[in-house]
Amino acid sequence: MKKYFSFATFLPELSLRRSGRLAHPFCHCHQSLSSSTLVMTPRLSKVVLVDMDNTLVNFDKEFGKRWAALRPGDEASPVLNREHFELEQNFSHELRPLAEEIMSQPGFFIAFQPVEGAIQAVREMLADGLSVFFCTAPLPLQYETCVAEKYAWVRKHLGEEFLSKIIVTRDKTVIKGAVLIDDKPRISGACPNPEWTHVVFEQPYNRKVNGVPRMTSWSEWRKVVIPLLSATK
């Protein structure tokens, strides 16, 4: 049995709506009493999926810092202007174990700084009535630290109420949404025609990708994302 009622005090989007600062509220929201978990059903055309590593959080900066601490003689960080999306592919066969060791260090994923402007952009999207989910593909071999610390990162930088906005998946094509903002050059999976439009978040390894919407910084989100949402049914 479902009982419908307002729970605007629980979530920032709805708090904004209550305060009158949210112009376009969700189509409908409800809480199922069959579970203590809040269940939201935002309109699909307003769902923005945001990748975490090197889109929301600065993965490469933290990695480079740790690499330099271990190998101070290296002239430049091997991830600076890296060519390949998969981080370990930017290293020689001999150095890959060290790269994997760094990514496996407890505290690595929680140490990331937010990408400049990302937190503000997420809050602006919510204030504009959009529904933001963090759609992230954890590193399989580092799952014990990676997944837990991604949740901890979101709580630390955005707040506990955002923990229910995390989608952990190795296949983003099966996730629904209007837009996916992601630094990965090309996203493939079980669904050949995902619901979302991929907005490439610029990084050195995706600059050769042409013919797709692109964000070079978070300050551009409205200019890039809003027209795509308008085109979504």
Q: State the catalytic residues.
A: 51, 53
- Please answer whether residues 31 and 3 qualify as being in contact, where contact means their C-beta atoms are separated by less than 8 angstroms: yes
The distance of closest approach from Cβ of residue 55 to Mg ion in the complex, given in angstroms and rounded to an integer, is 5
The region of 44-52, 71-79, 100-108, 211-219 touching Mg ion under the rule CB under 5 A is: 44-52
149 contacts Mg ion (rule: CB under 5 A):
no
Q: What span, in angstroms and rounded, lies between the C-alpha atoms of 211 and 157?
A: 33
Q: Which helix (H) or strand (E) holds 3?
A: strand 2-3
**In terms of Cα–Cα distance, which of 29, 33, 50 is closest to 167?**
50
192-208 per-residue burial string, b: 16 or more CB within 10 A, e: under 16: eebbbbbbbbbbbbbee
Is 60 among the residues that bind Mg ion (CB under 5 A)?
A: no
Contact pick of 13, 60, 149, 183 for Mg ion (by CB under 5 A):
183
Residues 6+ apart with CB under 8 A from 32: 2, 39
Residue number with CB closer to Mg ion (17 or 172): 172
Regarding 53 and contact with Mg ion (CB under 5 A), the answer is yes
Q: For residue 62, state whether it binds Mg ion (rule: CB under 5 A).
A: no
Characterize the bridge pairing of strands 179-182 and 2-3: unpaired
CA distances from 153 to 62, 90, 132, 159, 226 (A): 14, 26, 16, 9, 27
Stretch that binds Mg ion, among 30-38, 42-50, 150-158, 176-184 (CB under 5 A): 176-184
Stretch that binds Mg ion, among 45-53, 66-74, 101-109, 123-131 (CB under 5 A): 45-53
Interface with Mg ion (CB under 5 A), residue from 51, 128, 149, 195? 51
In the bound state with Mg ion, the residue whose beta carbon lies nearer, of 91 and 205, is 205
**128 lines the binding site for Mg ion (CB under 5 A):** no
Contacts with Mg ion, residue ranges (CB under 5 A): 51, 53-54, 183
